[in-house]
Structure 1
Amino acid sequence: MCFINRDNRFPGRLPLVVLPYMKHGDLRHFIRSKNRNPTVKDLIGFGLQVARGMEYLAQKKFVHRDLAARNCMLDENFTVKVADFGMARDVYAKEYYSIQDHKRVKLPVKWMAIESLQTQKFTTKSDVWSYGILLWELLTRGASPYPEVDPYDITQYLLKGRRLLQPQYCPDTLYVIMLACWDPEPECRPTFHSLATEVQHILSNLKGEHYISLKVTYVNLDQPRPYPSLVGSEATTSDLDTDSDGAS
């Protein structure tokens, strides 16, 4: 990235930001392409790169507020770059909605944490929630979250303890991490540092080369399950660090 005219050397001209060319476009388009045949390792590897990028942003006290596969870019070496282009709101217009009294503000409600849906306030911990949704996007090859839920009902849906189902080829350990990201209490969610560590561990121990088709299904096709902590599930997040790793 470089800046042009940042110090106003060319009076009358606006400053410009020049970004590297991202050969493979945004991550969601890439994983949804019928010409691609990603493995589970490939997809989790993308998730690891995003976790590391978000760890860096958190350390620098930045809150992203719109983390999603559509806002991550891929260069020629398949390196993920966490970005946030306003044009994503045009390309994926159907994924942004007005909520409550903020009728003029379009928000990515199905990627937002419960507290952000209620207060329109964002923190690193709400970014962690969105990261959990991004992991789910990866393991479903870009499926839209909560397809059966009206955007205007999403807050109540989540408050009832409902969460996204486990994708078919998603390792159980990775789904536990997703659920930790979706903890209703922000302070109980893991940090991006611990997320990067845990995802790296899962990736290192993954065996086999399972390819995911675009017709991916779910482990449980019943009604969405309540959040585990509300029903005494054995799923635990005790191994995940929940202290702050930067911004709050």
Structure 2
Amino acid sequence: MRLVIAECSVDYEGRLRAHLPRATRLLMLKNDGSVLIHSDGGSYKPLNWMNPPVNMHVLEGEKLTQSSQFTELADPEIQQLWTVQAAKSDDRLLIKIYEVIGELSHDLGIDPGLVKDGVESDLQRLLAEQIETLGAGYTLVRREYPTAIGPVDIMARDANGASIAVELKRVGDIDGVEQLTRYLELLNRDPLLAPVKGVFAAQRIKPQARTLAEDRGIRCISLDYDAMRGVDQSENRLF
């Protein structure tokens, strides 16, 4: 992990264009290749970012002034020019560094992963045992399916043999949809799995999360935790 506090401006070029004017920000470079730009506000969400795989080039000093790319962006105050280019698309970030205020690098080691609370772990176990809850003909591949960015809660196959990635939450919110989206982007790069479809499953799914998921082609399923563990038999309810 490398953290750089710098006065910088940022331009995103790709499917759309975005510009962050000159200001002091935190630049976060992770060992997985991701690059994130944070401000001192906006909670946890970065102002802009680039997901791996990416190629990053840094120009400074004499190489910077001699670069044809810098000629177009010439500014004598720029000390460094970072170009973060997506490996599989035309998307890129141009980060112009005017002053490096502070910098820290540290190896965080291997993360043990998120430890789910009791309800989420039980939901995962129960859904794996009752995989037909997702639909007739569904079969379980495995729980905690490993990926480079963390384990997928459940991998399954539908009646047609298509791969299904399932993200489980007690309360489904936008963060969970974003997490599943990242898994799907990575899994669909594997020709042995692609195309991989997503299922977002939770006891309760917030309306905004459901709207975002369905807009991305992700199916949403509400799970009855008590019914799945045999505590509350829905057919015996009066109301």
Q: TM-score range by the shorter chain?
A: under 0.3
* Structure whose residues are more often strand by fraction: 2
TM-score for the superposition, normalised by structure 1: 0.22
TM-score for the superposition, normalised by structure 2: 0.22
* Structure whose residues are more often helix by fraction: 1
